A and B are shown apart, each in its own frame.
Chain A
Amino acid sequence: MNGWIRMKNRMSQRYEGIFLILPWIIGFLLFVSFPLLYSLYMSFHNVRITGTGILHEYVGTKYYNNILFQDGGVFYDQLLPFLRQVLFMIPIIVIFSFMISIMLNQKFLGRGLFRAVFFLPVIFSSGNVIERFLSQGRGQLGFLEQFSISTALTQYLPASWSTPIVSVLNSFVLILWYSGVQILLFLAGRQTISASVYEAARIDGANPWEMFWKITLPAMMPFVLLNTIYTVVDLFTFPGNPIIASVNPTQYGPTSALIWVYFLIILLFMGLVMLLLGRAVRVTTQTR
């Protein structure tokens, strides 16, 4: 009898729960999975929009062939340099925002004021305003010109690597602008470590340096993973990105193929990050 009631409860709970999640699932099917599959379908078809309807003409892997082998201009000349630049920007953004959030977590005079300032990038960097700042030459660091670092780099490194490094250095301020959300995420993550852990470590005679490496960093590893993923997503949908700029509703088929190549690269990137950092997360949480 008791078991029956429990089962009935569990059943009703199951169905009740469905109505809470149902809107989201419908939305997922309508606005995410259907367009996703349709765009995959379009990448193999020549799509023409006529007055009476939409015509699909099967062309096979022609567009992919074009992008990767025959006419690789966009892919090899624009996308690969961009990817190299992203490779440099990700660690800089993650490490910088980690440092700032640790500092903002200390107790010091004027902390509230600093925190308010460090949330400003969230407002500014998501719009078109940031590009206006950069076009005014507000994105450079003074010391780069002073010590002519860029010329030194171009001398000692092969051009394929020195160009992205120099452009990263030149847009360093931009990188700082794009770490707003990451600082917030780290700051939130830092609050999940309870003060008693530090108290215990202090009594055991650990110094702050040890505490940082043995407590703070391991506990923050999941947030490092999350932030890296967020940064990858954010950078890959960057307005200045060559692929993003080429998406417009004129040629549905070729553009869909291009964006799918791009999407697969993003997924590959993501998988790599998960593999590398995911292992680190597991190791550190085990040793803890």
Chain B
Amino acid sequence: MEKVLNVLRQRQQQFGLLKWAERLRLLLVGREADKGLLFRIFIYIVLIETAYLYLNPILYMISNMVKGLDDLLDPTVNWIPKAIYWGHLKEAWELLNYPSSFGVSFGLSIGASLFQLVACAMAGYAFARVQFPFKRFWFACLIFTFVIPPQVTVLPLIIMYREVGWIDTYFPMLVPALFGHGLKGALYVIIYRQFFSILPKELEEAAKIDGASLYRVFFKVMLPIATPAIVVVFLFSFVWNWNDSYFPMMFLFKMQDVPLSIALVKATGDLTTEEGRLFAQSIDMAKSFLAVMPPLVLYLFTQRWFVEGVERTGLVE
């Protein structure tokens, strides 16, 4: 009797131990491997590490921008300056001719991105849902356009624009966008095409039965429900047009009012004095900060819709 009880007790103890081990295993590895603590920790380590790599230069930029002479010379000051110095920002503001270049950049980016927003949507919708002659051929052309580097066509474009007198005007940045081309236009057409092709067909059919024309269907039914795609395209287009310095550099030779991306390259501080050399880096950082601030602010405000939009467009097949 005693023996039997002993065996039973032992077994219970073993069982209890097993249960604990099982519980620990569940905690660490989880019922499925992607739910456990170990996996969580792994994800956090990788993501925090990479996020740090992304944030490091940005933080460095901001910290260096507000360092005064004392902080720059002080070896104990690494990240956080002892006093905030606004001189660099002020100087960068003047070097960049900020109000004017900001205005040019803003006008160009908003204009081009709004044009692309509508024109690429039309083309994308046509590729997704509408029949037209030689559709497969034109689709191949679309893919081809996506692949061509802008450098292949830039020289003939310069000659072409010179012939029509568009050099040193803003037309070369705006008119192609109006036709659904321009900077990375093909990518936006592809994004829209993908979005429209996964929408249910019933919507358009209902509108067509009610007698609406294709244009009414597009502008009144399809475009309004394309908000996720619109947000994605608008933000991409705005940011890329804002940052682009290649086309403005090629098409604006002797223009006074240049966009920020050009001003950033052109404007250099005074490097002849000791102080100027010492400050050069800080002023550079201040300039970068001023140049990148507007799209960053725009992104902060639209980020919610943007993330959602990316998830819902399914982008490209």
Q: How large is the interface on B (under 10, 10 to 19, 20 to 34, 35 or more residues)?
A: 35 or more
List which A127-174 residues lie within 8 A (CB) of chain B: 127-129, 132-133, 136, 138, 173
List which B290-315 residues lie within 8 A (CB) of chain A: 291-292, 295-296, 299, 303, 306-307, 310-315
Task: Decide if the interface of chain A is mainly helix, strand, loop or mixed.
Answer: helix
Closest to A176 in B: B53
Tell me whether B66 is interfacial, beta carbon within 8 Å. no
How many contacts A-B (CB < 8 Å)? 250
Give Cα A239 to B264, complex, Å.
15
Contact between A124 and B265, CB atoms less than 8 A apart: no
Which segment of B86-94, B139-147, B268-276 sits at the interface?
A: B139-147
Contact between A124 and B292, CB atoms less than 8 A apart: yes
Contact between A247 and B155, CB atoms less than 8 A apart: yes
Which of B56, B146, B155 is the one whose CB lies under 8 Å from A42?
A: B155
* Chain B neighbourhood of A100, CB < 8 A: 46-47, 50
Binary A-proximity of B116-154 (CB < 8 A = 1, otherwise 0):
000110110111001111000010010011111111111
Q: Give chain B nearest CB distance to A37 CB in angstroms.
A: 8
Give Cα A128 to B32, complex, Å.
45
Contact between B53 and A13, CB atoms less than 8 A apart: no
* Chain A neighbourhood of B296, CB < 8 A: 123
Which of A31, A187, A188 is the one whose CB lies under 8 Å from B176?
A: A31
Give Cα A226 to B312, complex, Å.
18
Give Cα A33 to B312, complex, Å.
33
Give Cα A279 to B128, complex, Å.
25
Contact between B130 and A39, CB atoms less than 8 A apart: no
* Chain B neighbourhood of A116, CB < 8 A: 303, 307
Which segment of B1-9, B18-26, B236-244 sits at the interface?
A: B236-244
Binary B-proximity of A96-135 (CB < 8 A = 1, otherwise 0):
0001100110101000101111111111101111001100
Tell me whether A1 is interfacial, beta carbon within 8 Å. no
Known: A123-B239, A129-B288, A266-B149. A17 touches B130 (CB 8 A): yes
Tell me whether B40 is interfacial, beta carbon within 8 Å. yes
Tell me whether B58 is interfacial, beta carbon within 8 Å. yes
Give Cα A176 to B61, complex, Å.
18
Tell me whether A38 is interfacial, beta carbon within 8 Å. yes
Q: Give chain B nearest CB distance to A30 CB in angstroms.
A: 7
Give Cα A267 to B281, complex, Å.
40
Q: Give chain B nearest CB distance to A198 CB in angstroms.
A: 10
Binary A-proximity of B17-54 (CB < 8 A = 1, otherwise 0):
00000000000000011100000100110110011011
Contact between B138 and A256, CB atoms less than 8 A apart: no
* Chain B neighbourhood of A42, CB < 8 A: 155-156
List which B216-245 residues lie within 8 A (CB) of chain A: 218, 236, 239-240, 242-245
Q: Give chain B nearest CB distance to A57 CB in angstroms.
A: 15
Tell me whether B67 is interfacial, beta carbon within 8 Å. no
* Chain A neighbourhood of B154, CB < 8 A: 35, 247
Q: How large is the interface on A (under 10, 10 to 19, 20 to 34, 35 or more residues)?
A: 35 or more
Contact between B264 and A136, CB atoms less than 8 A apart: no
* Chain B neighbourhood of A30, CB < 8 A: 179
Give Cα A18 to B126, complex, Å.
8
Contact between A20 and B148, CB atoms less than 8 A apart: no
Known: A26-B179, A114-B51, A236-B149. A184 touches B310 (CB 8 A): yes
Contact between B155 and A173, CB atoms less than 8 A apart: no
Q: Give chain A nearest CB distance to B51 CB in angstroms.
A: 5
Which of A106, A121, A192 is the one whose CB lies under 8 Å from B34?
A: A106
Tell me whether B76 is interfacial, beta carbon within 8 Å. no
* Chain B neighbourhood of A95, CB < 8 A: none
Which segment of A60-68, A77-85, A86-94, A201-209 sits at the interface?
A: A201-209
Contact between A13 and B43, CB atoms less than 8 A apart: no
Among B46, B123, B213, residue most surrounded by chain A Cβ atoms (within 10 Å): B123
Contact between A13 and B152, CB atoms less than 8 A apart: no
Contact between B145 and A28, CB atoms less than 8 A apart: yes
Contact between B316 and A226, CB atoms less than 8 A apart: yes
The 22 sampled A-B contact pairs (Cβ below 8 Å) are: A16-B130, A20-B123, A20-B132, A21-B123, A23-B178, A31-B153, A31-B176, A34-B160, A35-B152, A35-B155, A38-B160, A54-B159, A103-B43, A114-B51, A119-B307, A123-B299, A127-B242, A127-B243, A127-B261, A233-B146, A247-B151, A247-B155
Known interface pairs A38-B160, A132-B288, A188-B315; 4 further A-B residue pairs with C-beta atoms within 8 A, sorted by A's residue number: A18-B132, A123-B299, A124-B57, A126-B239
Question: Closest 9 CB pairs between A and B?
Answer: A27-B179, A127-B243, A17-B130, A35-B153, A24-B123, A35-B156, A38-B156, A21-B126, A17-B132
